[in-house]
Amino acid sequence: MSIISGSIESLKKVKYGVRGGWQSVRNINARSELSIFDYEELIKPLDFYPFVPHKENNLYGNGSVIQSSFPHLDFSETTIEHGLYIGSLVPSRHLKSRFKNIITFSEYRKSFIRTKTDQNIITVGPYINYAKPLYSSEKIKSEKKKLGKTLVVFPSHSIDSVYANYDIPEFIKYIKNFKKKYSFDSVLVCMYWKDIELNNHTQYELSGFRVVTAGHSYDANFLSRLNTILLVSDAALTNSVGTHVGYSVSLNKPIQIWNGSKLEYLPIFGKEEKAQKELNQRQGNDLNTHLDDTQRISAVFSRFNESISKQQLECVEYYWGS
């Protein structure tokens, strides 16, 4: 069930710069009925629609799932960090005077934000814990039975102006060996919508893996779909530190971060200026704390365990909260 089904009346009350209008609402509701494997439909462009105030709060459905769990919080004066920020960087857009509240994952993040502002900082833990799966429990069981023991792979993803560059054939080789070593029956490769647009999924598909996606970043069901993908899987593998690491552990899916291939982020042709702003936003202490903590997280998850270790649980609680 879509998280926005049955909520049309409440949506009508939102008056924050609608551009996409009701067509986006209809499209998002329709997509909630699609299979996680129907990536061609799920990544199609969506006009922005403000289910909650402030554009960034709508990314990945964060605002929708958090608002439903904190109904008494005024979201017209609240901003949400859209994912795991590693290190001391606090984007200035969150520090604007119109925001009385900042929502983030953990006390780790709160300690950095507190040095920049007197705003009320609310820690809520991993956002995916507030999302409900799009599949019923019966359908999840049915999918798991068809797939068998399933590995979900999260390749590092690109964004609008920045391309995630790594050796895909080398990663595929590692995935195949991983699948054999740990006796997985199926491999799902969860691709970000932008990377499917860039055709980065084709090599995975040609290698016999099944491609899935959580959908477009403006899809209010993004987190619920990601929740669904993890629930039909038994373990995860990735080549980068990111929000997905804590989300996997939060849903009791062991995960390994593979560091065997060089990963770099490059400007996408025609968007160099925007890319440079993104790539250069961390300097000095912001960069050093980011690199140090990324390395710490990577080290904790560098080896695969069939069950999540105490050290890994403590790592996720520290950086992602609980």
Q: Tell whether 62 and 22 lie within a shared domain.
A: yes
Whether residue 182 is contained in a domain is answered as: yes
Q: Tell whether 121 and 60 lie within a shared domain.
A: yes
Whether residue 3 is contained in a domain is answered as: no
Query: 307 versus 22: which is more confidently predicted?
Result: 307
pLDDT at 161 over 60: yes
- Under the banding of pLDDT at 50, 70 and 90, the label for residue 2 is low
Element (H, E) at 316: helix 310-320
Please, which residues have CB within 8 angstroms of residue 59's CB and are 6 or more apart in sequence?
A: 82, 217, 218
Q: Tell whether 122 and 150 lie within a shared domain.
A: no
Average pLDDT score over residue span 60-74: 95
Query: 112 versus 12: which is more confidently predicted?
Result: 112
pLDDT at 190 over 60: yes
Q: Tell whether 255 and 272 lie within a shared domain.
A: yes
- Overall number of domains in the chain: 2
Whether residue 26 is contained in a domain is answered as: yes
Q: Tell whether 274 and 150 lie within a shared domain.
A: yes
Lowest-pLDDT range of 20-29, 63-72, 170-179, 222-231: 20-29
- Under the banding of pLDDT at 50, 70 and 90, the label for residue 14 is very low
Boundaries of domain holding 185: 137-320
Q: Tell whether 161 and 293 lie within a shared domain.
A: yes
Query: What pLDDT does 205 receive?
Result: 98
Whether pTM exceeds 0.85? yes
Sole residue written with tokens 């606090």:
90
Sign for the pseudo-dihedral over CA of 113, 117, 118, 122: negative
Token readout for 46 is 């969506």
